[in-house]
Structure 1
């Protein structure tokens, strides 16, 4: 039997290769994702290990704010300088030094443009004088020794072309600084910073610019020879008390790595979801391929049964073919996955995120690649294998054997149940008050509905193909009628082929609806919520100096400037994102619809919350809210106003002073600029542009430009998602090629007869193309209908998250339908040419 299996593999290698491509693409995406994320993780783990001294002391956070660092959570905590002297007295300490580190320090190149970090932070540090504690190594020049001197990392020096002795300009969280470049340094052993830029000052200057005088962001401690870091950490912890976290180098690296891995999960899941979609679509192709192979080999399999082969042997023979396809596909997929990971690294490198070293190909990745490829192939081939095993031996004796398929009653019943359950879940998701729960219900409903429609697809195919396909005979006559009948004659095969395309287009169209609805919501939000004529936002995705707001406010014609900042605190025991604003400028720049109260109390100890938050937390105007800051201080705020949902401000609003008291970083995320009554925006803009020329990390936009910027971010994300989903559409196109190619072989005698009675080669090619087009259109129509349902339901379920408007991009849907028809035409090129090349007499004579 194994010899027979091998012979069949060689006999059908081209057809199986087309099926194997689905496995190759799916496995390649899985493997590429795992290799890329493993490499990304290793890069940052090495980075974390390079930054840690033997023992590290930081302020203990009262609650978890995510990745440690002043930029990520929007809050900063400090360690007093006096603690350095106390730690120095601890037995076993060889060296101790306070350090300062903060984000928001950007280097301007010779043209006055910000050194591009591709979204990675610009980091400022204090230069460590204790070499044993420093992760940096001086390469050229000397250490900075005063407020007019600065050092930069070697990567930044190379990109900007600056040399020791040059005067360079820096944008800091505080003022704009010009200083002499007195030295360059390498970070760690390799100098890798994952795209970030690093700027070093002397300690006093770093404290003035990046923290506060007399305050450090952390303290590094070196152990004497022979002293175990764990023992030293315990001794230091006993001295500094419970207000501080004391960690060894390995503990700090593990803690940062764990936080980073948790954040990395999003990228991992995001990419693996698309790989799963590709594999799911691929199962239809493999199932279709093996079903057709089994149908074509009816007499051969029956003869094997007649010669004594058991059902189990026949099943194992077919699964053996699938196993070989899965192993070969997974092997090629591993190599392709390595290429995808290399491409992802190059792509992220162009954005500024440099991944150092070679790509990480872990054993787990290889095992997962083979497990996924082989398992998907075997599962997909199991049903055809079982069908082959049930082939009656008597079929070998008959020349006119016809493979009788079971009725569609059970399949129809299952499809109806799943479809109804899916529709119910979609409706439940749209009616849910909780956005997270609603989105989950929509996701489950979408999955159930896809499975249900897939089961119903053969039943739906016949009326669709007969009604829509009726156009073909009217335009192309006999050729069109033959194409229509070919598509209708085997609804199971047509449905399986169309289902692959249906899934891809359902997801593409769903995200198109969500994207269009989000963009419509942005237009509505900004038009209805923003009163300010101009908005200043970051060009690098990072907060910027409050000096910008001061200089903008001094421009003639500007009536009010409202900075907007973010921070974190616990309110009544629940971690909340706080938005800090200027209470005086708020009414002039942002439109609020009040449910109760007002913004009058915001300037003191007031807090404003949106209606969903107030209802969820049980707060009313006048209620007292217990506040816990990150550095473990307790305060109280009073609810002074409740407003309708406003995505510009978020859910919880405090004054800038209140946010600073809670440890908020004194850097702005946005500025809303309102002009004096009667002032022409066109007259003021040149002056604003002139002021902001000194700060190239920010952009000035009017409301329309700001809308376009926000919608551009949505469109970029949508483009990325659709680019990922193209993989599933590509696999679906391969499925159409595969089905048509095998259908041509299956109908060899029929094609020969058609040629014998006068059907020309051009007509034959047209017949195959029209059959491909109608199958593609059928799959596209199902996909567009389902995708529109999914997109509408998900948009409605996320109404509380800011998607307040519903928009269906009908022109784009029409384009998708035309693209599907084009896919059918292209997919039919090879099968049509193959059919046209068949010799008439050979085709008629072939059994």
Structure 2
């Protein structure tokens, strides 16, 4: 029986190739995702392990601020220099040194442009004089010893072309620094920094520029020979007390890796979702392929049963073919996944996430590749295999074998129930007051509705193809009628082929609605909320020096500058992101719709919150809120006002003084520039740009440009999502090719008869193309309708998250429909040519 299976595989190898290609693409995306995330983890794990001394001392955090080193928190804590001497006296300490590290330090290249990190941080550090404690190694020159000297990492030196002895410019959170480059250094064993740049100063200069005189961000401790780091950490902890965290190198690396792994989960899930979509679409192709193969081999399989093959043997024979297809597809997918991982590394590298070293191919990834590829193929082929096993042996005695079409009643009932559940969930999601709950309901509804539409697709196909396909005979006559009838002949096959395209276009159109609605909401938000004539923000999405605001304020015609900063604190026991602003210029720069209270008393210990936060926390104007800062200090804020949701200002607003008191870093995220009433923006813009040009890390934008900048982020995300969804559309196109190719083989005798009665080769090719187009349009229409419903529902469920406008991009939907028709034409090229090349007499003789 296995010999028969193998011969069947060789006989149908071309028919199975496209099914295998669907598995290749789906598995490749899974493998590429796993390789990429494993490489990402290894890069940062190696980075974390390189940064730690035997024992490390930092200020204890009163609450978890999230992943450190990303700049999201906006608060800083310091360790007094006097603690170094206390630790030096601890038994077992061989070396101890304080260190300074801060973000927001950027190197300017020879053209005065910021060294492009693509979004990775620019980090400033103090140079460690104790080599045993330092993760850096001097490569060229010497260590910096004074305020006029600086060192940079070897990667940055290579990118900028700087050499020891050059004068370079560095932007810091404080002043702009021009200094002599006295040395270059390598970080860790291989110099990998994941795209970041490192600038080193002597300790005193680093404290003045990056922290505060006499303050460190941490202390590194080296253990004497024979002293266990864990034991030394216990001794140090006993001396410094509970106000400080004391961790060994392994503990610190593990802690940082754990935080990073949580952040990495989003990327992993994000990418695996698209892999799952590709595999889900691929199942339609495999199911279709094996269903058609079984139908075409009815007599062959029945003869096997008549010759004594059991049902189990026939089932195993068909599944054996699927197993080989799955194994071959998984193997090729594993190889292709390595290429996809390399592409993902290059893509994320353009965003600043540079991954050093080789890609990581783990045993788990190989096992997952085969498990996923083989399992999907076997599951998809199981139903056709069971159908083949049930073939009665007596069927082999007939000259003509007609496969009975099962009724659609069960599918109709199941599909209707799923569709009803899906619509109910979508409606519930749009009516939910909680954005998270609403989005979850919409996601559940979308899944149920896709499954329901897939089940109902054969039922819906007949009326759609008869009504829309009625245009074909009117335009192309007999050829059009034949194409219409071929599409309607087997609604199950047509529906399975169209469903693959339906899923891809449903997701593409849903994200198009969300993107268009988000962009329209951004326009409305900026127009309705930003009163300032200009906005200054970082070109690389990082905080920048407060000196920019001070210099802009000196420009003639500028009435006020409102800095906007970010920070964190615990408010009534819950960690909250804070937006800090200047109370004196808030109303001048930002329009807030107040529900209660006012902005006048924000200064001092005032607090403004949006309606959603106030309702969720049970706060009202006049309430006192307990504040816990990151370094453990307790303070109080008083709610001075409640305002309508405003994405520009955030949900929790304090004054700049309050943020500073909470340990906030004096780095600005945005500057809102207000002009005097009698000053035209065009007149003062050149003077403003002269200031910002001296700080290449920032850009000056008017309101329209600021809105476009925010929309560009949405457009980039949509481009990334749609690029990944193209994979599912490509697999759907392969499904159309596969279905048409096998349909041509199935109808070989019929095609010969049509040619014999006068149908020309050009007419035959047109018939196959029209059949492909009408199937593609059917799938596209279903997908566009479903996608529009999903997009509208999700946009409405996220109204409290800032998507206040609803836009359905009809021109873009029309383009999608046209693209679907083109996909149909292209998919039909090969099958149409094969049909036209069939010899008439050979085709008629086919049985």
TM-score (norm 1): 0.99
Q: Give yes or no for contact 1:70–1:665 (8 Å, CA) kept in 2.
A: no
> What pairs with 1:179-578 in structure 2 (closer than 5 Å)?
179-578=179-578
1:55 is aligned to: 55
How big is each residue's C-alpha offset from its partner over 1:376-416, in whole Å with a ceiling of 9 and x where there is no partner? 00000011001101101111001122111210001000000
How big is each residue's C-alpha offset from its partner over 1:65-95, in whole Å with a ceiling of 9 and x where there is no partner? 1112372321111111111111111110000
> What pairs with 1:37-116 in structure 2 (closer than 5 Å)?
37-69=37-69, 71-116=71-116
1:655 lines up with 2:655 in the alignment = yes
CA distance in 2, matches of 1:436, 1:207: 43
CA distance in 1, matches of 2:745, 2:45: 55
2:832 is aligned to: 832
Q: Secondary structure of the residue that 1:500 maps to in structure 2? A: helix
Q: Give yes or no for contact 1:70–1:102 (8 Å, CA) kept in 2.
A: no
Closer/same/farther in 2, CA of residues 70 and 384 from structure 1, 3 Å limit: closer
2:678 is aligned to: 678
1:21 is aligned to: 21
Q: Secondary structure of the residue that 1:186 maps to in structure 2? A: strand
Q: Secondary structure of the residue that 1:649 maps to in structure 2? A: coil
CA distance in 1, matches of 2:489, 2:338: 43
Q: Give yes or no for contact 1:589–1:673 (8 Å, CA) kept in 2.
A: yes
CA distance in 1, matches of 2:413, 2:382: 22
1:768 is aligned to: 768
CA distance in 2, matches of 1:310, 1:153: 71
CA distance in 2, matches of 1:120, 1:361: 25
> What pairs with 1:813-828 in structure 2 (closer than 5 Å)?
813-828=813-828
Q: Secondary structure of the residue that 2:169 maps to in structure 1? A: strand
Q: Give yes or no for contact 2:537–2:670 (8 Å, CA) kept in 1.
A: yes
1:705 is aligned to: 705
Q: Give yes or no for contact 2:35–2:359 (8 Å, CA) kept in 1.
A: yes
CA distance in 2, matches of 1:341, 1:153: 27
Task: For structure 2, list consecutive stretches of 5 or more residues without a partner in the other structure.
Answer: none
How big is each residue's C-alpha offset from its partner over 1:162-195, in whole Å with a ceiling of 9 and x where there is no partner? 1111111110011111111111111111111111
When structure 1 is superposed on structure 2, of 339-348 and 615-624 the one drifting more is 339-348
CA distance in 2, matches of 1:54, 1:723: 46
> What is the Cα deviation at residue 499 of structure 1?
0.1
CA distance in 2, matches of 1:717, 1:70: 20
> What is the Cα deviation at residue 350 of structure 1?
4.0
CA distance in 1, matches of 2:304, 2:238: 80
State the number of aligned residues: 847
CA distance in 1, matches of 2:155, 2:698: 24
How big is each residue's C-alpha offset from its partner over 1:536-581, in whole Å with a ceiling of 9 and x where there is no partner? 0100111000000111111111111110000111100111000000
How big is each residue's C-alpha offset from its partner over 1:295-334, in whole Å with a ceiling of 9 and x where there is no partner? 0000111111111111111111100000000000000000
How big is each residue's C-alpha offset from its partner over 1:727-757, in whole Å with a ceiling of 9 and x where there is no partner? 0000000000000000000000000000000
Q: Secondary structure of the residue that 2:667 maps to in structure 1? A: coil
CA distance in 2, matches of 1:212, 1:642: 36
Q: Secondary structure of the residue that 1:97 maps to in structure 2? A: strand
Q: Give yes or no for contact 2:70–2:121 (8 Å, CA) kept in 1.
A: no
Q: Give yes or no for contact 1:164–1:183 (8 Å, CA) kept in 2.
A: yes
2:596 is aligned to: 596
CA distance in 2, matches of 1:227, 1:249: 14
CA distance in 2, matches of 1:778, 1:349: 40
> What is the Cα deviation at residue 17 of structure 1?
0.8
CA distance in 2, matches of 1:267, 1:74: 23
CA distance in 2, matches of 1:350, 1:557: 39
CA distance in 2, matches of 1:110, 1:128: 28
Closer/same/farther in 2, CA of residues 846 and 375 from structure 1, 3 Å limit: same
> What is the Cα deviation at residue 351 of structure 1?
4.1
CA distance in 1, matches of 2:62, 2:29: 41
Q: Secondary structure of the residue that 2:584 maps to in structure 1? A: coil
How big is each residue's C-alpha offset from its partner over 1:100-125, in whole Å with a ceiling of 9 and x where there is no partner? 00000000011100011111110000
> What is the Cα deviation at residue 140 of structure 1?
1.4
How big is each residue's C-alpha offset from its partner over 1:131-184, in whole Å with a ceiling of 9 and x where there is no partner? 100011111111111111111111111111111111111100111111111111
Q: Give yes or no for contact 1:69–1:76 (8 Å, CA) kept in 2.
A: no
CA distance in 2, matches of 1:518, 1:349: 26
CA distance in 1, matches of 2:700, 2:461: 55
How big is each residue's C-alpha offset from its partner over 1:19-40, in whole Å with a ceiling of 9 and x where there is no partner? 0001000000000111011111
> What is the Cα deviation at residue 346 of structure 1?
2.6
CA distance in 2, matches of 1:747, 1:158: 65
Q: Give yes or no for contact 1:71–1:102 (8 Å, CA) kept in 2.
A: no
1:166 is aligned to: 166
> What is the Cα deviation at residue 601 of structure 1?
1.3
1:748 is aligned to: 748
Q: Give yes or no for contact 2:502–2:782 (8 Å, CA) kept in 1.
A: yes
2:606 is aligned to: 606
1:147 is aligned to: 147
Task: For structure 1, list consecutive stretches of 5 or more residues without a partner in the other structure.
Answer: none
Q: Give yes or no for contact 1:70–1:76 (8 Å, CA) kept in 2.
A: no
CA distance in 2, matches of 1:69, 1:494: 53
CA distance in 2, matches of 1:710, 1:174: 27
